[in-house]
Amino acid sequence: MNSLIDKYNIPGPRYTSYPTVPYWDESTFSPEKWKETVIRSFHESNAEEGISIYIHLPFCEALCTFCACHKRITKQHSVEIPYLESVLKEWKLYLELFEEKPKLKELHLGGGTPTFFSPQNLKTLLTGIFETVEIAEDPEFSFEGHPNNTTRDHLQTLYDLGFRRVSFGVQDYDPKVQKAINRIQPFENVKAVTEWAREIGYRGISHDLVFGLPHQTWEAMEYTIRKTMELKPDRLAFYSYAHVPWVKGVGQRGFDENDLPSGEEKRRLYEDGKKLLQDLGYIEVGMDHFSLEHDDLYQSLIHKKLHRNFMGYTSSKTQLMVGLGMSAISDSWYAFAQNVKTVEEYQKMVEEGKIPVVKGHILDKEDLTVRRHILNLMCQLETTFTDKNSFPELENAFEMLEEMEKDELVEIYDNQIKITEKGRAFTRNVAMVFDLRMMRNKPETRIFSMTI
């Protein structure tokens, strides 16, 4: 395995979209074209599957130095109401595009720290949205909670509004690691919020763990996993730390690169961590995710309904996902759009009655084909080609995969490719073979985290 790590541990995307953000063609994008794709997608899908909404709540009281998300650090909670009022105004701009009431299937609150906001303010925001939509049958409402500031009132308020899933960011329980990433978070805090959520009735409790953090050792990782097992969350995200200190604003400055585990050490964290999770009853789902057998994420995998978007893996699929808030990304299937990245500019554009997108990408026919194959690989670990000759460069991809087949990472059939159990750890590498935009324009400087 070590030789494979050396061979395939290269910079690569996580493929929450295709094309990936660095390869968006902004020359063909405009806000008007974006609106056209939103209207088209809404008409095609609303009546059947409904739509998704992602709300980006960017405020955090402290900077976690492992985080690569768009956020605003402040302890001033006076920012809450003005920001949420802007989110509701942005949503009304989207409502003007729709000729009928949206059917809301999926809603996620991400950040930042959603639980920075008070329960009452979150209720005001969500009530304002729910008044304008029809709630779909068995909706998927979820939020990200910080164990240090998620209160029982947060959990109860959101549960009463229909939320049944919550994800708590744990990362690691080792004090030395926590200090390096500026995330001091006692196990007792995580235990309290997890037990509150379970008592209230949440059926999808998730913990996020990260491997590859500064000063992290296998002993620390094993301790973190075993402590997590005391709480037995329904699902786990077991993420590889994405070290991207060159990206503006990520704040990855609380440690030196020499403090990070080597490629071989990091791989051991994943391999041994994965084995331990499986020994403890968790099943690997997609890439970086594990769940217990009863959880919807696993059930969606075996019924081939697993989906992946900018929110990560989900157990339900919608064609249209509207992203609200500063830096939020939207997906109409035919196009992507990202909002402006500062709170001030976001609020200004919304006040002016403009949907606050700053950049995006209109997918062409080739993009749509490649996107579907990469999505299949990321979610089902296989994909089938009805006519690979219609895109000659995809045939070249099969030639590139022959080396992976020799390494037993994939199995290649006539018009089909399957990722093997051994190849799961290299799913991103397999998907990269089909990334035609990256193949044509290989970056001169590093823009992605390492795949392993």
Q: What pLDDT, on a 0 to 100 scale, did the predictor assign at position 271?
A: 85
The residue whose two tokens read 């809404």 is 42
**pLDDT at residue 13 above 50?**
yes
Closest CA relative to residue 215, chosen from 185, 171, 272: 171
Average of per-residue pLDDT across 49-67: 87
Kindly state the tokens that stand for 66.
Answer: 């492992």
Average of per-residue pLDDT across 94-113: 95
**pLDDT at residue 445 above 60?**
no
pLDDT in tens, 357-385: 999 999 999 999 999 999 999 998 999 88
The residue whose two tokens read 């997918």 is 363
Asked if omega into 112 is within 30° of 0 (cis), the reply is yes
Distance from C-alpha of 260 to C-alpha of 184, rounded to nearest angstrom: 19
- pLDDT band with cut points at 50, 70 and 90 for residue 262: confident
Highest mean pLDDT, choosing among 2-6, 94-98, 311-315: 94-98
The residue whose two tokens read 């609303």 is 46
Q: What are phi and psi of 413, to 5 degrees?
A: -115, -165
Of residues 3 and 210, more confidently modeled: 210
Sign, Cα dihedral of 140, 141, 146, 148: negative
Q: What pLDDT, on a 0 to 100 scale, did the predictor assign at position 448?
A: 57
Give DSSP secondary structure letters for 394-422: HHHHHHHHHHHHHTTSEEE-SSEEEE-TG
| Range 380-386 contact pairs with CB under 8 angstroms and sequence separation of 24 or more | 380/301, 380/304, 380/306, 381/286, 381/418, 381/419, 381/424, 381/427, 382/416, 382/417, 382/418, 382/419, 383/416, 383/417, 384/415, 384/416, 385/415, 385/416, 386/415
Kindly state the tokens that stand for 252.
Answer: 């990855």
- pLDDT band with cut points at 50, 70 and 90 for residue 99: confident
pLDDT in tens, 127-148: 999 999 999 999 999 999 999 9
- pLDDT band with cut points at 50, 70 and 90 for residue 314: confident
Greatest alpha-carbon span in the chain:
60
**pLDDT at residue 310 above 90?**
no
Closest CA relative to residue 452, chosen from 287, 225, 280, 217: 287
**pLDDT at residue 255 above 70?**
no
The residue whose two tokens read 């990321």 is 378
Average of per-residue pLDDT across 392-400: 73
Q: Taking all residues of the chain, what is their mean pLDDT, rounded to a whole number?
A: 89
Distance from C-alpha of 311 to C-alpha of 292, rounded to nearest angstrom: 20
Distance from C-alpha of 351 to C-alpha of 124, rounded to nearest angstrom: 19
Q: Helix, strand, or coil here: 53? A: strand
Environment class of 8 (CB within 10 Å of its CB; exposed 0-12, middle 13-18, buried 19+): buried
**pLDDT at residue 244 above 90?**
no
**E-assigned strands of 250-388?**
283-285, 289-291, 307-309, 312-314, 321-324, 329-331, 335-339, 357-362, 382-384
**E-assigned strands of 252-368?**
283-285, 289-291, 307-309, 312-314, 321-324, 329-331, 335-339, 357-362
